[in-house]
Chain A
Amino acid sequence: MKYELVIGLETHVELSTESKIFCSCGGHSAANEPNDCVCPACSGMPGMLPIMNKRVVELAVTAGLMLNCEINRYTTFDKKNYYYPDLPCAYQITQINHPICVNGLVNVKTSQGARDIRIKQIHMEEDAGKLVHSGNSSFVDFNRTSVPLIEIVTQPDFRSAEEVVTYLNKLKSMFRSGGISECEEGAMRCDVNISVRPEGSEEFGVRTEIKNMSSFEAIEKAIQYESQRHMDALEYGTEELVQETRRFDDVSGKTFAMRNKETEADYRYFPDANLMPIVIDDAWLEQIKADKPVAVDEKAEEYMAAGISQKEIDLLLSDGKISKLLDDTVALGCDMKDSATWILTDCAGVLSKAGKSFADGVVTAQNLSVIIKMVADGTINRNAGKKVLIAVVEQGADPAAYCKEQGLDRKVDASAIEAVIDGVLAANPKAVEDVKGGKLKAMGALFGACMKELKGAGDPAVIKQLLEQKLAQ
């Protein structure tokens, strides 16, 4: 029999905010030592009250807009109760009754064609800390507690592992380019709900959930293993499927049932009385919409229209900083396709040679645009432009000043060029005689000497013309 996979996804994404969701501690990525970024609030001491970080709301709404969601104008927080040492209050603040975004839609393009995946909801919540085991003891690190997350819950609309991975890659590039999350290793974690049914059937099969995976590769493998397990059970009766929570073991490539205790927990959700409902009024929503970066799809179309290749577009959109550099450079008056080449070829090469990256911010739209414009209007040649770029990256040079200093500027005034020519002619009487005697080969040597003296500055055509005039005299 032929079977169809039915998959739903819950994806936790760590938001890029300067502080935690309910206190002013910095994000845990800034921490060097365990418990570096911890205060009485995020370590569960009595007396502290959660204060909502407004930026978290804005990023969650932005994510919702990117995924075509309806934004709930009235949104509230609930408490989820469970005991674990990495959860200092023994409850997690999350959203159950009034999540911030609902009913979204994401288009996913795979080798099987394009399909829409429905988003059930996006809600905000706080992360837990982590346990560190050492010998007979366990230690708890609260750096990650209260780091803001959004959880994106889809409907069971995926039909293949490929769709799942494509969707996750799309989220990743959207969130990176939108400044919502860096989506670094471990900052995106997925729970996969999976069931299998005979093709054409409308009913759902027995569903299992594979918890907490962060590598896309593992997710793909887990789906393949788990769906095969379901199909074998249905086809050959290898085992009886039960609704349960499982974990994926990377080493064996298999999934294993988790203890029932963890799956049957009653989390006793109830409203958090310490956090007043958040009301998102028209003005605030409009502000968030205005600040929202253009969606990746639209961006790709814009780049495509400018003649940038698909491969380059993928590179540009893989990192929000790169596409932003391009957009900002274009905004400063540079050609889009030309700028893309500068960024992806020249900047990327020079940066990598210098052991730096776009994230270091040494190449700014401001200084890049100056270089591109100088090359475009003939002030310097392309090679000189690259030389300037290297100086910018390696020495933090100012492009315009560096050109002047190094005499790269081709627009040297005629009198300066004439002075150089006069000098060259005076120093090479033999060559001058040869030229005047009709040996035009010597002309090249004189021209080369002038160029050398001018160190690449000045327009070669102008130099050549002046040189000919002098020799004709």
Chain B
Amino acid sequence: MNKFAVTINGQGTIAVDDTLLIQDAPATAGSRMLEGFTPLFSAEVVDRLQQKGYQIAGKTHVGEFGLDLVGEFSYTAPQQGTLQGAAALAVAEGDVQAALGVDMNGATRRAAALAGVDFLKPTYGTVSRYGVISCAASGEQVGVYAKTAQDVAKIMTDIAGHDPKDGTCLKTETYDYTPAKAEGKTVAVVKNLVAKADDGVKAKVQAAVTALQAAGVTVVEIDCDLFALANTAWQILMCAETCNNVSRYDGVKYGHRAANYKNIDELYVNSRTEGFNFLTKAVILYGSDVLSKNRYKDCYDKSLRVRRVVREAVTKLFGQYDALLTPATFADGYQAYEVTEAFGKVFTESECTALANLIGTPALATQGVQLFGKAFDEAGLLGLAVALEKKGE
């Protein structure tokens, strides 16, 4: 499989998902809609890495606009079969040392778990979103794929911190990602999520529990319905925000423009019909619906209220536990789905991941499982990942 949409430097050690901009490198976010678009500037995270001396190897394929969890929805996918988290694979196979991805709904974490590498979605506001081909502004965040927690920590240190070009970026200049000691911590396994997973995933969770216990971590089991609630709310918010953010792709200024149109309305409709794939179109329809006058209060506004409720409840949970252990995906591997089934899967699979996007807390996919932590406790999660890497040895 060709993992790179654009190769930049054959000697490079960092891959960058195509949802992030690199100056002069074609950027499509996996969509035909952005065909031929070349940005005038690089994402802040890319600039920071280049200033630190990292070489960018190239831009890795993503599912359209980074929303695709199941690997079916990319303009580049039909030519390559199912698109299996290209950046995660590039890291797993040693093509690069690490990669940057944009976590909109957990597609990056799912890809990492399936490829057997780490992906950290940091706390919202800690990493600049300048230069992200944005979809879900209130929950998306740039994160790092790497083989080890130490490598994740190293790259995170280099990209995180205040950026005046992003109004949602917090004022803190630097963060400490040094993995914290795992011993003595308490981790809660979310039983009801594990129960829904394939056997292979259950085995990975069990292995993680064993490894944590061996490292002196107390492991307890809980049931938690917040994940399902968060998934529904985030689905609504993410679709609404995406519908709005991709509305600028209209065929007028850049990207794909239909060859045939008789007036401006046809230019819009034909360009967008040709440019977007099924998933994005469905997201646009869904997002447009939840924002409409009649539905706003019961859908969008309610989801904002759910976000507050979930945040409070999760904060309470983190008063009792240092982290939550969950699957990063219910499925133990990529499967080929029929297109409408695949669309459904995107929103059932995201039950494992969406909570972190909804409330902005950090989440780490590692060793095929996932750890959720409280805001700004990336170091705690990375410490637990170090314990998991030892696999109880």
Contact (Cβ within 8 A) B248 A90 = yes
**B-contact bits for A73-93, CB 8 A (1 contact / 0 none):** 000000101010100111100
The chain A residue sitting closest to B267, CB to CB, is: A85
Given A49-B129, A276-B168, verify A81-B247 contact (CB < 8 Å): yes
Which residues of A237-277 have CB atoms within 8 Å of chain B's CB atoms?
266, 268-276
**A-contact bits for B279-323, CB 8 A (1 contact / 0 none):** 000000000100111001000100010000000000000000000
Contact (Cβ within 8 A) A88 B291 = no
Given A49-B129, A266-B293, A270-B296, verify A85-B167 contact (CB < 8 Å): no
**B-contact bits for A404-429, CB 8 A (1 contact / 0 none):** 00000000000000000000000000
User: A122 CA to B132 CA in the complex, in Å?
Assistant: 33
Contact of A51 among B29, B164, B296 (CB under 8 A): B164
- Contact segment of B37-45, B113-121, B327-335: B37-45
Contact (Cβ within 8 A) B167 A49 = yes
Given A91-B247, A140-B252, verify A47-B131 contact (CB < 8 Å): yes
Chain B hits for A49, CB < 8 A: 129-130, 134, 165-168
Contact (Cβ within 8 A) B39 A45 = yes
Contact (Cβ within 8 A) B167 A51 = yes
Chain A hits for B293, CB < 8 A: 266, 268
Contact of B264 among A40, A45, A81, A85 (CB under 8 A): A85
User: A268 CA to B290 CA in the complex, in Å?
Assistant: 9
User: A51 CA to B168 CA in the complex, in Å?
Assistant: 9
Chain A hits for B254, CB < 8 A: 45
The chain B residue sitting closest to A266, CB to CB, is: B293
Contact (Cβ within 8 A) A90 B250 = yes
Which residues of A33-69 have CB atoms within 8 Å of chain B's CB atoms?
40, 43-52
Contact (Cβ within 8 A) A81 B253 = no
User: A46 CA to B248 CA in the complex, in Å?
Assistant: 8
User: Whole-angstrom distance from the CB of A38 to the nearest CB of chain B?
Assistant: 11
Contact (Cβ within 8 A) B41 A47 = yes
Contact of B241 among A44, A47, A138, A273 (CB under 8 A): A273
Contact (Cβ within 8 A) A81 B244 = yes
Which residues of A341-372 have CB atoms within 8 Å of chain B's CB atoms?
none
Contact (Cβ within 8 A) A270 B300 = yes
Chain B hits for A272, CB < 8 A: 137
User: Whole-angstrom distance from the CB of A90 to the nearest CB of chain B?
Assistant: 4
Which residues of B30-80 have CB atoms within 8 Å of chain A's CB atoms?
34, 37, 39-41, 43
Chain A hits for B264, CB < 8 A: 85, 138
Contact (Cβ within 8 A) B253 A44 = yes
Q: Is B348 an interface residue (CB 8 A)?
A: no
Q: Among the interface residues A90, A140, A271, which one has the most CB atoms of the partner chain B within 10 A?
A: A90
Q: Is B240 an interface residue (CB 8 A)?
A: yes
User: A91 CA to B250 CA in the complex, in Å?
Assistant: 12
Contact (Cβ within 8 A) B34 A46 = yes
Chain A hits for B164, CB < 8 A: 51
User: A180 CA to B130 CA in the complex, in Å?
Assistant: 31
Contact of A45 among B40, B138, B165, B166 (CB under 8 A): B40
Contact (Cβ within 8 A) A48 B130 = yes
Chain B hits for A273, CB < 8 A: 137-138, 168, 241
Chain B hits for A45, CB < 8 A: 39-40, 253-254
The chain B residue sitting closest to A89, CB to CB, is: B248
Chain B hits for A270, CB < 8 A: 240, 244, 291, 296, 300
Q: Is B347 an interface residue (CB 8 A)?
A: no
User: A49 CA to B131 CA in the complex, in Å?
Assistant: 8
Chain A hits for B250, CB < 8 A: 83, 85, 90
User: Whole-angstrom distance from the CB of B68 to the nearest CB of chain A?
Assistant: 18
User: A193 CA to B38 CA in the complex, in Å?
Assistant: 45
Chain A hits for B240, CB < 8 A: 270
User: Whole-angstrom distance from the CB of B155 to the nearest CB of chain A?
Assistant: 20
User: Whole-angstrom distance from the CB of A270 to the nearest CB of chain B?
Assistant: 5
Chain A hits for B29, CB < 8 A: 46
Contact (Cβ within 8 A) B167 A268 = no
Q: Is B133 an interface residue (CB 8 A)?
A: yes
Contact (Cβ within 8 A) B247 A274 = no
User: A43 CA to B39 CA in the complex, in Å?
Assistant: 13
Given A268-B288, A270-B240, A270-B291, verify A47-B252 contact (CB < 8 Å): no
Contact (Cβ within 8 A) A47 B130 = yes
Contact (Cβ within 8 A) B133 A46 = yes
Contact of B248 among A44, A269, A276 (CB under 8 A): A44
Contact (Cβ within 8 A) A46 B134 = yes
Q: Among the interface residues B129, B138, B167, which one has the most CB atoms of the partner chain A within 10 A?
A: B167
User: Whole-angstrom distance from the CB of A47 to the nearest CB of chain B?
Assistant: 4
User: Whole-angstrom distance from the CB of B31 to the nearest CB of chain A?
Assistant: 11
The chain A residue sitting closest to B288, CB to CB, is: A268
User: A90 CA to B304 CA in the complex, in Å?
Assistant: 23
User: A48 CA to B137 CA in the complex, in Å?
Assistant: 12
Q: Is B27 an interface residue (CB 8 A)?
A: yes
**A-contact bits for B234-253, CB 8 A (1 contact / 0 none):** 00000011001001101011
Which residues of B100-150 have CB atoms within 8 Å of chain A's CB atoms?
129-134, 137-138
Chain B hits for A91, CB < 8 A: 244, 247-248
Q: Is B268 an interface residue (CB 8 A)?
A: yes
Q: Is B21 an interface residue (CB 8 A)?
A: yes
Contact of A274 among B27, B137, B296, B304 (CB under 8 A): B137
Contact (Cβ within 8 A) B291 A274 = no
Chain B hits for A89, CB < 8 A: 247-248
Given A40-B41, A49-B168, verify A85-B134 contact (CB < 8 Å): no
Chain A hits for B167, CB < 8 A: 49-52, 274-276
**B-contact bits for A265-295, CB 8 A (1 contact / 0 none):** 0101111111110000000000000000000
Using A46-B37, A49-B134, A49-B165 as known contacts, list a sample of 8 further A-B pairs with CB atoms less than 8 Å apart, ordered by residue number in A: A45-B253, A47-B41, A81-B247, A90-B247, A266-B292, A268-B296, A270-B240, A276-B168
B-to-A contact residues, CB < 8 Å: 21, 27, 29, 34, 37, 39-41, 43, 129-134, 137-138, 164-168, 240-241, 244, 247-248, 250, 252-254, 264, 268, 288, 291-293, 296, 300, 304
Question: Can you list 8 pairs linking A and B with CB atoms under 8 Å apart?
Answer: A46-B133, A48-B130, A49-B165, A79-B244, A90-B247, A268-B293, A273-B168, A274-B167
